[in-house]
Structure 1
Amino acid sequence: MNLPKFLMGDNTDCPNDIFVLHTEFPRFLINLVDDEIEWLEDFDNADQEELEVQVATLIEEASEFYDREMKRYEQE
């Protein structure tokens, strides 16, 4: 199965949250309301350094994905 790079998530227990799941390494779930990230990977110190460089870009990509999806829903 080919997974898309990002997936939107919803949960009625958290009605005010906006979740985006990043399915490629490093996998994570981000809440776009507060930019809180839950990493789905285990990292060692070497990975941690690389992550710090990538995290801003990954948050921006997740936000752009969400904005694009919302525009598509509005067009329907």
Structure 2
Amino acid sequence: MTRRVAESHGRTAGQTVLRWHLDNGLVPIPKTVRPRRLAENLDVFDFRLTHEDHKALASLAGTQETMDPDTHEEF
């Protein structure tokens, strides 16, 4: 689900989840030491999620959808 929304915006799943948190007034605290990921985490302010995207991502709350951040493959 997260990957589908991310691909529709040309973003990573991580960026999509960060955008969702920001749009919902939450304060995400991403953790990484990789320069590429740091840049990705900051590059979330120039796209918007649609109402349908928000509904789809909200439906995942509490489901513990887990993904490998290097391959973006869901477990």
Shorter-chain TM-score above 0.5? no
More helix by share: 2
Query: Which structure has the larger Rg over C-alpha atoms?
Result: 1
Q: Specify which structure has the higher proportion of strand.
A: 1
Normalising by structure 2, report the TM-score.
Answer: 0.30
TM-score by length of 1: 0.30
